[in-house]
Structure 1
Amino acid sequence: MESIDFTQPGTFAQTAFYLFLGIFGRYVLIAALFHYLFKVKYRAHFQSREVNQRPRREGQNRREIGFSFITALIFALVGTFMAMAWQKGYTQIYTDFHAHSSIWFAVSILLILFCHETYYYWLHRWMHHPRVYKWVHKAHHDSITTSAWTSFSFHPVESVLQAIVLPALLFVIPLHYSAIGIVLLIMTATSVINHLNTELYPRDFHRHWFGRWWIGATHHSLHHSQFKYNYGLYFTFWDKWIGTESPDFTKLFERKTRKEGTEVKV
């Protein structure tokens, strides 16, 4: 890959195309899988765990997939520019696993997630400013009752703002290329789970040492229905520290999981 000249227009376009197929294909595959499992095959079992009971609008799936198509295209273009920057030696991406310790490999992923969380929380707060909201974030919030297909449904401006954070971090934080894949997989999977509108986590998970800091469908669904709470992406710590976690979260989570027989031991 180091011998590929990404500055050539044909190579750039081909790389962007393949990245687009990977990004959009990953979104479709994971979203379709979760939609089939929890909204089709096992819906009767999980119906009591659906957080927002309001019906989705006609044509909402088609609209969300359309926005997600544009989002994937923007992500692919940004990713191709990052490949150019890596080839020129501008980034901290490394290919030799032994260039850093295995401990750093794990720490670097956690550090990226923490930085991404911090960036997104404050970006999200800004996007809810009245002068910004309708131009940037409203397209995503038009999905009041969310689904797996909502996970990548953003206005193009918001897509750009979301696309630039990981590349920016890769200029300063050493990250193995496989760790980038892990981060992207976590990003996609958690986004689908959080927008599924069906609580998948077990009873008392919100009291568990990890679960109390981890966002699920109930937590994020409240953001779509209440607008002024629960701004986090992966974690709840900024919402807890700043006081923007919904006061209805605990009661709603317990109501949606009370029929679950298996408790998480704290």
Structure 2
Amino acid sequence: MPDISPTCPFAFALQAWPAIWLGDLLRYLVPASFAALLIAGLPLAWRRRRQVRARGPLPGQRWREFGYSMVTVLIFSANGALIGAGAKAGVLRLYIDFARHGWPYAVASLAVLVVAHDAWFYWTHRLLHQRWLFRWTHHTHHRSLAPTPWAAYSFAPAEAVVQAVFLSAMLLVLPLHPAVILAFLTHMIVRNVLGHAGLELMPRTWLGGWWGRWLTTTLHHDMHHAFGRCNYGLYFTWWDRLCRTEHPAYRERLRQVVERMGGASASKEVPRGA
């Protein structure tokens, strides 16, 4: 029989898992619910100006997205419990004393996490689009041709595992504080919800400026759902631009959305060569 004393990493994981599961659940529910309610409550004319797709969600789609997201929450929370066990066993580099590295390191480690996760997502995303993997991994997510905020975690179990192990892998080499991990995971779900919102919620000046040039927009990911093999990026557009996987019509489509949002004068805000 395994040791299940309080000092055993396995026992620690079992004890910590319910709280971790609740945290992962709320981190999904709060932004997804907020976005869904916000979109439903916005004036119809405002929504039409910011709409990025012609079709709407299919009947029952939101419940399917929610159901798969619950499985993802379960997998993410199990990974979180294993991270706690790995840290207790001294395998993963989780530190509790914030003063050990200080604020500059915390900010820098968060930036490293975001940039590294964007690269991880881009390349694993392209891998999951390979025919021999797509059917039993990424196809679940792409059943939502017109995704809603509830699709943010709508993954097949295999894809959820691929995304979950990123944080564990980073903790093998990069010391991280729980507050940094929380900030990273919150950023991840908020950007995921925005990407599946179906309309641009960011300010027009952002979309026509630095956000539209370097960060992915709702339109960017919506075109991935519509066309498939393009626009693989999660947070930034640079991998798609470098590897020439950005949809050729994306920049012009973004220009049109910005124009609808702010009038003809906005047409100069998204340069054609951006």
Q: Percent of pairs identical after alignment?
A: 32
Aligned to 1:115: 116
Supply the distance in 1 between the matched residues of 2:153 and 2:189 (Cα, whole angstroms).
Answer: 8
Q: CA deviation at 1:207?
A: 5.1
In the alignment of these two chains, the number of paired residues is: 263
Q: CA deviation at 1:82?
A: 0.4
Aligned to 1:99: 100
Deviating more after overlay: 167-176 vs 204-213: 204-213
Supply the distance in 2 between the matched residues of 1:207 and 1:62 (Cα, whole angstroms).
Answer: 34
> Unmatched 5+ residue regions in structure 1?
none
Aligned to 1:71: 72
Aligned to 1:240: 241
Deviating more after overlay: 215-224 vs 39-48: 39-48
Q: CA deviation at 1:16?
A: 1.7
Specify the code of the residue in structure 2 equivalent to 1:218: L
Structure 1 pair 15/254, CA: closer, same or farther in 2 (3 Å)? Answer: same
Specify the code of the residue in structure 2 equivalent to 1:185: T
Q: Could you tell me whether the CA contact under 8 Å between 2:207 and 2:258 is conserved in 1? A: no
TM-score, with structure 2 as normaliser: 0.89
Supply the distance in 2 between the matched residues of 1:228 and 1:25 (Cα, whole angstroms).
Answer: 32
TM-score, with structure 1 as normaliser: 0.91
> Unmatched 5+ residue regions in structure 2?
none
Structure 1 pair 5/64, CA: closer, same or farther in 2 (3 Å)? Answer: farther
Supply the distance in 2 between the matched residues of 1:172 and 1:185 (Cα, whole angstroms).
Answer: 22
Supply the distance in 2 between the matched residues of 1:205 and 1:169 (Cα, whole angstroms).
Answer: 31
1:155 aligns with 2:149: no
Give me the CA root mean square deviation: 2.2
Specify the code of the residue in structure 2 equivalent to 1:24: L
Aligned to 1:168: 169
Specify the code of the residue in structure 2 equivalent to 1:80: A
Structure 1 pair 84/230, CA: closer, same or farther in 2 (3 Å)? Answer: same
Supply the distance in 2 between the matched residues of 1:64 and 1:5 (Cα, whole angstroms).
Answer: 38
Structure 1 pair 165/182, CA: closer, same or farther in 2 (3 Å)? Answer: same
Aligned to 1:184: 185
Aligned to 1:83: 84
Aligned to 1:46: 47
Q: 5 Å matches for 1:188-203?
A: 188-203=189-204
* SS at 1:240 equivalent: helix
Q: CA deviation at 1:265?
A: 11
